[in-house]
């Protein structure tokens, strides 16, 4: 029996993990068990220290260094009470994943004993080696010093493993020269920039009590699960996270029976484990279901402040990967792990709110609230239109190039869906006056009031990259593997820019001058209405219409990244203190380098599989056919396979040649362009031949687990 067949037999006898632990440890009993949350802070900190820390966490005052030793002592006692022996500063360098270095609490006393030590300095600041993390030229290899700084707004938590417990402190990562080396610092800066400008707008609407505006995020996470024993026989899945070869399964997703279908017992056991572990970490996992493609699933949390939700999403992805192994599954988060069926995204539900609990994207129930809502809505419309190129660049990634616009995900064109009723309101606003709304009441926008706008009055549009869904926007174009810090940083900064422009105009008016407000909003709508689109974003007609409207359509990462080097981009990010020109340039350089490295790994992996697995299997099959070539039918098959074998060798040579040209291109940008224009097409041509061979070569000889096995064997 081949390794493939052995794995399939083993899968058939797989035992489902018990859910008894889930039943005994569910819901309120364990929620936040591993988090140094408000209740734990109250228990382990002196009352004055607790109050000062809470005011910092809630954004009312800076962290007071005078309390850091007292906080550290409380954190240590809490962690050790849960069995922690080590602590780590957990951060998000520009690698796309998290990083951590563990240190023990134990410190020798000099008399052969040790004591547990954890000072305020250890809590607040760490010093990991910064030399080996991507810096985009900010730091040379020999310049190793970098610092991690505790992010007070993100909850401290415990990593509980079978063999020990580690206190985990979410931090920001900065260079010795004070420049951001991570995704978190720019995101936090963008939050402050947006909040500052939003408060200016709120003050015009006579809101004098709100002290802070922040954004909330609810990232819906799509992913695939396949049996581990099959995945381990696929070098492409191991090394790249996607299948570089694979003929379509006789059955794919065409029957649509996977979507929201009954969850298989083995998958449900994984999901139950995931819910339980996330709840213990204070992550509000809410929804789980089958997605459209076979083997594809989704998890969605309740909304949280963006700084916390972004950290939590990194923990979610890490936890999924770890728990999948416990269930003999492999977790796939690539944007397009399988050709011909839907890929995976991360739908970021985004809104703005005040510290008083008011959602600024929630239509109100009176004219004043409606006016405020429309002001913020129109600001977002302008942000997406003016900075569409930057928003597209924020989601650019090699994996996204396989997914965006593939009749399963939004196109690379940034547009906004509002729904028919709200778009009608905005269109009337663009004409300068309101006569009514499609549903419900009417009002004269040009004088003193605005219409009451019912919530969820219209349908949703899953083909839109940026859709309004009642009281929030859903940024649907983000890739499934992406840390959400960078897309949210760009979105926050773009909206801050629009709110700043709006506030500048409003501050020239008297408070309550709704006629003046209407004129300002009407002018903004007229200049930016081209970004509004209610139709099918998957259609070719939309591409033509978008071009007519002048909307950017940067189809690939190589097309998208240059927008981050424009004077407009530099002025935007530096003007709001989010990224200096040097920090922005470093991120662009890292994105170029990452793209080239990913494509080079994929090309090398494709060549390795083709040369050492597919070609030998084809040769063996030709040998078998040769012995029966006296049959006219067998002779015909033999001739066909032989011709494909020749094409396979030629395709291997063409890919090797294209890859060689890429390496000789010179700059990393030029190399990326050769990968995009020549290497990827050559790799696709190689795959086309190999996939046809898969449909002809003896099943027992074919070395790679097939789509029908990966997607349907559980």
pLDDT of residue 450: 44
Map 522-556 to HEC letters. Answer: HHHHHHHHHHECCCCCCCHHHHHHHHHHCCCECCC
Do residues 253 and 301 share a domain? yes
204 in any annotated domain: yes
* Residue 292: φ, ψ to 5°: -65, -45
CA-nearest of 498, 521, 532 to 418 is 532
Q: Give me the number of domains the chain comprises.
A: 3
Q: Which helix (H) or strand (E) holds 87?
A: strand 84-90
Residue-wise pLDDT for 638-678, tens only, equals: 889 999 999 999 999 999 999 999 999 989 999 999 999 99
140, 155, 181 — which closes off a domain?
Answer: 181
pLDDT of residue 513: 87
List helix spans (H) across 13-152: 20-24, 38-44, 47-57, 68-81, 120-124
pLDDT of residue 470: 82
1 in any annotated domain: no
Do residues 353 and 456 share a domain? yes
Domain extent, residue 124, equals 31-181
Contact 310, 184 (CB under 8 A): yes
Do residues 258 and 360 share a domain? yes
Residue 114's beta-bridge partner residues? 108
Confidence tier at 539 by pLDDT (50, 70, 90): confident
Q: Which helix (H) or strand (E) holds 330?
A: strand 329-332
CA-nearest of 266, 442, 446, 253 to 343 is 253
Tokens matching residue 712: 């349907």
CA-nearest of 146, 122, 126 to 134 is 146
CA-nearest of 216, 346, 322, 329 to 264 is 329
181, 204, 235 — which closes off a domain?
Answer: 181
Q: Which helix (H) or strand (E) holds 605?
A: helix 581-609
Do residues 99 and 52 share a domain? yes
CA-nearest of 400, 414, 424 to 464 is 414
Of the ranges 418-427, 433-442, 604-613, the best mean pLDDT one: 604-613
Lowest mean pLDDT among 239-253, 433-447, 468-482, 657-671: 433-447
What's the whole-number mean pLDDT along residues 367-380? 87
Q: How far apart are CA 374 and CA 380, in angstroms?
A: 10
Confidence tier at 448 by pLDDT (50, 70, 90): very low
Share of residues in the chain with pLDDT > 70 (%): 90
Tokens matching residue 506: 């409003």
Share of residues in the chain with pLDDT > 90 (%): 69
Q: What contacts 126, CB < 8 A, 6 or more positions away?
A: 89, 101, 147, 148, 171
- ∠ CA 157-162-168, rounded to 5°: 20
**Secondary structure letter of residue 14 according to DSSP:** P
**Helix or strand or coil: residue 25?**
coil
Contact 477, 546 (CB under 8 A): no
pLDDT of residue 437: 53
Tokens matching residue 500: 């700043």
Tell me the DSSP string of 338-351: STTS---BEEEEEE
pLDDT of 27 strictly over 70: no
What's the whole-number mean pLDDT along residues 179-191? 94
Do residues 89 and 114 share a domain? yes
- Return left, alpha or beta for 219; rule: phi > 0 is left, psi -120 to 50 is alpha, else beta: beta
pLDDT of 459 strictly over 80: no
Q: How far apart are CA 560 and CA 395, in angstroms?
A: 9
* Residue 484: φ, ψ to 5°: -85, 0
CA-nearest of 390, 348, 360, 357 to 499 is 360
4 in any annotated domain: no
**Secondary structure letter of residue 362 according to DSSP:** S
559 in any annotated domain: yes
**Helix or strand or coil: residue 294?**
coil
How many residues would you count in the chain?
714
What's the whole-number mean pLDDT along residues 147-166? 93
**Helix or strand or coil: residue 72?**
helix
Do residues 491 and 629 share a domain? no
- CATH code at position 261: 3.30.590.10
- Return left, alpha or beta for 440; rule: phi > 0 is left, psi -120 to 50 is alpha, else beta: left
Q: How far apart are CA 585 and CA 575, in angstroms?
A: 15
First vs last Cα of the chain: how many Å apart?
Answer: 19
Q: How far apart are CA 703 and CA 695, in angstroms?
A: 13
Do residues 571 and 674 share a domain? no
pLDDT of 213 strictly over 70: yes
pLDDT of 336 strictly over 60: yes
Contact 606, 245 (CB under 8 A): yes
Within 10 angstroms of residue 423's Cβ, the number of other Cβ atoms is: 19
pLDDT of residue 370: 84
pLDDT of residue 627: 65
- CATH code at position 153: 3.10.20.70
pLDDT of residue 524: 95
What's the whole-number mean pLDDT along residues 148-171? 93
CA-nearest of 413, 437, 375 to 533 is 413
Q: b/e string for 211-232 if b means 16 or more Cβ within 10 A?
A: ebbbbbbbbbbbbbbbbbbbbe
CA-nearest of 602, 605, 257 to 402 is 602
Residue-wise pLDDT for 542-573, tens only, equals: 999 999 999 999 999 999 999 999 999 999 99
pLDDT of residue 458: 56
Do residues 174 and 200 share a domain? no
579, 609, 629 — which closes off a domain?
Answer: 579
pLDDT of 455 strictly over 90: no
pLDDT of residue 16: 66
* Residue 572: φ, ψ to 5°: -60, -55
pLDDT of residue 136: 79
pLDDT of residue 449: 39
Tell me the DSSP string of 490-515: HHHHHHHHHHHHHHHHHTTSPTT-HH
186 in any annotated domain: no
Q: How far apart are CA 362 and CA 453, in angstroms?
A: 9
Do residues 173 and 195 share a domain? no
Q: Would you report the helix, strand and coil content of the chain in percent, each value rounded to 5? A: 50, 15, 35
pLDDT of 359 strictly over 70: yes
15 in any annotated domain: no
pTM of the model: 0.92
Confidence tier at 445 by pLDDT (50, 70, 90): very low
* Residue 631: φ, ψ to 5°: -75, 135
What's the whole-number mean pLDDT along residues 604-631? 89
Do residues 329 and 354 share a domain? yes
| 669, burial (CB in 10 Å: exposed 0-12, middle 13-18, buried 19+) | middle
Q: How far apart are CA 253 and CA 342, in angstroms?
A: 8
**Secondary structure E strands in 162-284:** 164-175, 213-227
- CATH code at position 643: 1.20.120.1560
Q: How far apart are CA 494 and CA 528, in angstroms?
A: 14
674 in any annotated domain: yes
Contact 537, 413 (CB under 8 A): yes
Residue-wise pLDDT for 475-527, tens only, equals: 999 999 999 999 999 999 999 999 999 999 999 998 888 889 989 999 999 99
Residue-wise pLDDT for 267-287, tens only, equals: 999 999 999 999 999 999 999
485 in any annotated domain: yes
Lowest mean pLDDT among 359-368, 452-461, 618-627, 704-713: 452-461
pLDDT of residue 135: 80
Do residues 200 and 165 share a domain? no
| 553, burial (CB in 10 Å: exposed 0-12, middle 13-18, buried 19+) | middle
Tokens matching residue 443: 């009002």
Residue-wise pLDDT for 518-531, tens only, equals: 899 999 999 999 99
Do residues 266 and 397 share a domain? yes
pLDDT of 13 strictly over 90: no
Q: Please, how many CA atoms are within 13 Å of residue 634, restricted to the half-sphere of its CB?
A: 12
Output the average pLDDT for the chain.
89
């Amino acid at each position: 029996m081949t390794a493939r067949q052995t794995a399939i037999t083993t899968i058939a006898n797989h035992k489902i993990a018990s859910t008894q632990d889930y039943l005994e440890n569910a819901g309120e009993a364990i929620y936040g068990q591993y988090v140094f949350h408000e209740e734990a802070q109250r228990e382990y900190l002196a009352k004055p220290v607790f109050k000062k820390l809470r005011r910092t966490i809630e954004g009312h005052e800076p962290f007071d260094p005078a309390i850091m030793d007292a906080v550290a002592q409380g954190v240590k006692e809490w962690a050790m009470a849960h069995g922690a022996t080590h602590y780590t500063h957990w951060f998000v360098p520009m690698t796309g994943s998290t990083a951590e270095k563990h240190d023990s609490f134990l410190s020798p006393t000099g008399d052969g004993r040790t004591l547990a030590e954890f000072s305020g300095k250890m809590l607040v600041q760490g010093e990991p080696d910064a030399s080996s993390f991507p810096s985009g030229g900010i730091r040379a290899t020999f310049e190793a010093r970098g610092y991690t700084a505790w992010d007070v707004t993100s909850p401290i938590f415990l990593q509980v493993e079978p063999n020990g417990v580690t206190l985990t402190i979410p931090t920001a990562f900065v260079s010795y020269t004070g420049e951001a080396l991570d995704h978190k610092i720019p995101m936090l800066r963008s939050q402050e920039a947006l909040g500052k400008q939003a408060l200016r707008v709120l003050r015009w609407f006579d809101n004098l009590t709100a002290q802070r505006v922040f954004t909330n995020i609810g990232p819906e996470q799509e992913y695939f699960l396949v049996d581990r024993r099959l995945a381990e026989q696929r070098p492409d899945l191991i090394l790249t996270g996607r299948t570089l070869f694979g003929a379509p399964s006789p059955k794919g997703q065409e029957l649509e029976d996977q979507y929201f279908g009954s969850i298989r017992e083995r998958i449900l056991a994984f999901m139950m484990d995931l819910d339980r572990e996330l709840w213990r970490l204070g992550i509000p996992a809410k929804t789980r279901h089958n997605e459209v493609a076979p083997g594809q699933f989704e998890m969605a949390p309740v909304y949280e402040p963006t700084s916390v939700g972004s950290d939590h999403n990194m923990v979610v992805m890490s936890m999924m990967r770890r728990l999948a192994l416990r269930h003999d599954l492999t977790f796939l988060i690539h944007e397009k792990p399988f050709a011909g069926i839907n890929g995976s995204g991360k739908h970021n539900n985004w809104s703005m709110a005040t510290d008083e609990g008011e959602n600024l994207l929630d239509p109100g129930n009176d004219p004043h609230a409606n006016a405020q809502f429309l002001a913020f809505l129109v600001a977002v419309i302008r942000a997406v239109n003016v900075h569409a190129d930057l928003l597209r660049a924020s989601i650019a990634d090699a994996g996204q190039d396989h997914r965006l616009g593939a009749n399963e995900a939004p196109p690379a064109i940034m547009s906004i869906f509002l729904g028919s009723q709200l778009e009608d309101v905005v269109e009337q606003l663009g004409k300068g006056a309101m006569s009514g709304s499609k549903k419900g009441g009417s009002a004269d926008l040009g004088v003193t009031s605005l219409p009451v706008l019912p919530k969820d009055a219209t349908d949703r549009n899953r083909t839109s990259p940026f859709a309004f869904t009642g009281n929030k926007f859903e940024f649907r174009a983000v890739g499934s593997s992406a840390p959400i810090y960078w897309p949210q940083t760009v979105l926050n900064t773009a909206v801050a820019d629009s709110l700043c422009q709006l506030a500048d105009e409003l501050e020239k008016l008297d408070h309550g001058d709704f006629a003046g407000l209407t004129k300002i909003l009407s002018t903004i709508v007229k200049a930016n209405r081209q970004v509004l689109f209610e139709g099918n974003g998957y259609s070719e007609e939309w591409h033509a219409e978008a071009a007519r409207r002048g909307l950017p359509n940067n189809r690939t990462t190589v097309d998208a990244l240059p927008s981050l080097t424009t004077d407009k981009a530099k002025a935007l990010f530096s003007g709001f203190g989010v990224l200096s020109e040097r920090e922005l340039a470093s991120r662009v350089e890292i994105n170029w380098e990452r793209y080239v490295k990913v494509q080079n790994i994929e090309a090398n992996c494709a060549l390795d599989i083709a040369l050492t697995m597919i070609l030998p299997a084809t040769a063996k099959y030709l040998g078998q056919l040769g012995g029966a070539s006296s049959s006219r039918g067998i002779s015909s098959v033999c001739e066909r396979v032989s011709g494909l074998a020749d094409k396979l060798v030629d395709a291997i040579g063409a890919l090797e040649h294209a890859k060689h040209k890429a390496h000789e291109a010179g700059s990393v940008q030029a190399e990326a362009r050769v990968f995009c224009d020549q290497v990827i097409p050559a790799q696709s041509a190689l795959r086309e031949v190999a996939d046809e061979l898969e449909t002809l070569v003896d099943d027992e000889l074919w070395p790679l687990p097939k789509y029908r096995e990966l997607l349907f064997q559980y």
